[in-house]
Structure 1
Amino acid sequence: MSDGERRGDGKLELISFEIAGQEFCIDIRWVREIRGWTKATPMPHQPSYVLGVINLRGSIMPVL
């Protein structure tokens, strides 16, 4: 990463999370908000990897 992508003090801020036993990290600047789990509404005829959909501030978002 270039210094332009780091904080003013040279530190990179990351947020980490785990999915299915695998850990991931992303730059904190890409995160809009951190929400608690919302149960997904199942949809008919969806692939097995789609859990359903949620309403996120008026937008319907798939949950994979």
Structure 2
Amino acid sequence: MDNKEKVLHTFKNSSEMLDAKAVAEATGIEKSEVSKHIAKLKKEGELVSPKRCFYEAAK
């Protein structure tokens, strides 16, 4: 599983909205890299941002 998949997996298994810092702590990936993956996943429609700087998996 690559880092992008780990980030998406973390969001899909969370029952609450997460920010980049929380995902970085959960996965052990650098926060800056997590932010890049979040941006890509959001552009691809995999993540949504109902609240500024917090994200969740798209339904």
Structure label with greater radius of gyration: 1
Q: Which has the higher contact order (CA 8 A, sep 6+)?
A: 2
Which of the two has greater strand per residue?
A: 1
Q: TM-score range by the shorter chain?
A: under 0.3
TM-score, normalised to structure 1, is: 0.19
Q: Which protein has the bigger helix share?
A: 2
Question: So what's the TM-score if we normalise by structure 2?
Answer: 0.20
